[in-house]
């Protein structure tokens, strides 16, 4: 008989969902995107869009998952039987499979850098641009570390919800926050750090452009891990007595706090040593090592930082793999161990061309993009906004309004007016915002 897994506590769900959301979005993508889009103005827009647009969609995914109590595909089959809506769930599951196949490549880089830092290869005077180039171009090294990253992910997820994912996040998420605070304090005490704080927190309105707004809106969706069914899956393990709105609020603010801490670790240090904040994706791999090497005990602090990034990267990977596993085992936990090893191995194999996209397959292009860039584009530019759009429509327009308000509000102590506001934001604001991001990403506006 199938047995449904569940979280052992509310805090376990919050830490796991926050871990899914935080990942590379907050620690890697937010700093370099903010750095290339004016800093404080981007951060302010990101904050507004996270609260007003991304959070309502995240709560909609929570509603679908908890109300159905099923995986991403069966959730839509339960709530909208004999319709095409389960294809939204299938799209999310497929997206997680593909997303993890190339996300694990970046996760492998992070683990590789953590090893470099711990063994002393990252030291003052090293050519960090050359080191990063060699790291991502060496086929055997990149596949080895991608394999290590997937092995760690499979090892945790095969343990299940409470014994695997929840237990890992109980240790990793608090450790992440503590390490971040330590690094932020160190960065803020550097001479000249105030310029970096000003860059992050004092808006320069000359950067207030449609492009910055739409980029911030896209980052808000990416940062809360919506549009790939992970939040539907995690919420399916919740009991009806849990407060979805307070949980969603906690997860959102934890994500914003980590984004802020990432900025306070990186930008004061970058400005203190005369580097440019607009370095792009190589910021944590090329610029930050050079910055840390100028700080007393910099080698140790950089090793700590990369360990922290590895933690955050893994917590996101857990949610992606769990979304696929949940759909594969359909509540029968006896199948979990074997299916996790099988699917984890398949994801690794599918990820091999992405891993080699910066080396031996660098010249192999599909529609003008490497395999890595193509998958990234398909997931983040197409599937995430499309899925988020249809989730918003499904909950706000297809489902009966009164039943949505009742089911979403079950176990909640927030005022009913707040729940009605959420549904109205989901009805009128979120779909328009998602369409704008979609059109902007495709270059239509």
Read off the pLDDT of residues 225-262 as tens digits, 9 standing for 90 and up. 888 999 999 899 888 888 999 999 988 998 898 889 88
Taking CA atoms, 97 is separated from 280, 351, 372, 383, 418, in Å, by 26, 10, 14, 12, 35
| Residue 3 DSSP class | B
The pLDDT tens digits for 3-15 are: 566 776 778 888 8
The region of weakest confidence among 98-112, 131-145, 160-174, 204-218 is: 160-174
CATH of domain 10-441: 1.20.1740
Q: Is residue 151 scored above 90 in pLDDT?
A: yes
Residue 406, both tokens: 């009742």
| More confident of the two residues 150 and 21 | 150
| Beta-carbon contacts of residue 161 (< 8 Å; ≥ 6 apart) | 5, 6, 7, 237, 322
Taking alpha carbons only, the member of 187, 108, 109 closest to residue 149 is: 108
Contacts of 432 (CB under 8 A, 6+ apart): none
pLDDT of residue 4: 63
Mean pLDDT on 334-359: 94
Residue with more model confidence, 61 or 223: 61
The Cα 327–Cα 82 span in angstroms is 18
Contact 277, 271 (CB under 8 A): yes
Longest dimension (CA), the chain: 64
Question: Higher pLDDT residue, 265 or 59?
Answer: 59
Q: Residue 82: is its pLDDT beyond 80?
A: yes
Q: What band does 219 get if pLDDT is binned at 50, 70 and 90?
A: confident
Give the mean pLDDT of 379-395: 90
Where does 7-139 show beta strands of DSSP type E? none
Pick from 44, 440, 86, 17: nearest CA to 246: 17
* Residue spans of alpha helices (H) in 158-284: 167-188, 193-201, 210-223, 230-235, 244-272
Separation in Å, CA 216 to CA 209, 377, 424, 444? 11, 17, 22, 17
pTM above 0.85, yes or no: yes
pLDDT at 48 over 80: yes
Given a cut of 70, is residue 279 above it in pLDDT? no
């Amino acid at each position: 008989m199938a047995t449904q897994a569940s979280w052992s506590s509310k805090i376990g769900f919050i830490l796991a969902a926050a871990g899914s959301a935080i990942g590379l979005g907050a620690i890697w993508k937010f700093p370099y995107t903010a750095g290339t889009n004016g800093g404080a103005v981007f951060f302010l827009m990101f904050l507004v869009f996270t609260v007003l647009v991304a959070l309502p969609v995240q709560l909609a995914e929570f509603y679908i998952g908890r109300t159905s109590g099923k995986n991403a595909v069966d959730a839509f089959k339960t709530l909208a039987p004999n319709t095409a809506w389960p294809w939204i769930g299938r799209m999310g599951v497929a997206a997680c499979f593909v997303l993890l196949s190339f996300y694990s490549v970046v996760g492998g880089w992070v683990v590789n850098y953590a090893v470099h830092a711990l063994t002393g290869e990252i030291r003052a005077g090293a050519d960090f641009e050359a080191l990063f180039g060699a790291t991502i171009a060496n086929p055997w090294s990149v596949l080895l570390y991608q394999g290590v990253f997937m092995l760690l992910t499979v090892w945790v997820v095969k343990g299940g919800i409470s014994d695997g994912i929840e237990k890992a996040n109980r240790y990793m998420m608090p450790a992440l926050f503590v390490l971040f605070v330590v690094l932020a304090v160190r960065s803020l005490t550097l001479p000249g750090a105030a310029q970096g704080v000003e860059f992050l927190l004092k808006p320069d309105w000359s950067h207030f452009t449609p492009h910055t707004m739409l980029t911030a809106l896209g980052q808000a969706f990416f940062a809360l891990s919506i549009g790939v069914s992970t939040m539907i899956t995690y919420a399916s393990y919740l009991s009806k007595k849990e407060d979805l709105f307070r949980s969603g609020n906690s997860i959102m603010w934890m994500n914003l706090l980590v984004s802020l801490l990432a900025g306070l670790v990186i930008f004061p240090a970058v400005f203190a040593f005369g580097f440019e904040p607009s370095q792009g994706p190589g910021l944590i791999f090329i610029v930050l090592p050079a910055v840390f090497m100028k700080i007393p005990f910099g080698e140790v602090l950089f090793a700590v930082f990369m360990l922290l990034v590895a933690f955050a990267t893994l917590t996101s990977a857990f949610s992606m793999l769990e979304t696929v596993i949940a759909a594969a085992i359909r509540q029968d936990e006896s199948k979990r161990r074997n299916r996790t090893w099988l699917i984890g191995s398949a994801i690794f194999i599918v990820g091999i061309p992405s891993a080699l996209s910066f080396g031996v397959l660098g010249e192999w292009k599909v529609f003008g993009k490497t395999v890595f860039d193509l998958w990234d584009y398909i997931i983040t530019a197409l599937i995430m906004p499309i899925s988020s759009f249809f989730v918003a429509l499904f909950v706000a327009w297809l489902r009966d309004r009164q039943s949505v308000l009742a089911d979403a509000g079950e176990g909640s102590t927030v005022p009913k007016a707040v729940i009605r506001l959420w549904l109205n934001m989901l009805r009128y604001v979120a779909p328009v915002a998602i369409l704008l991001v979609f059109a902007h990403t495709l270059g239509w506006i």
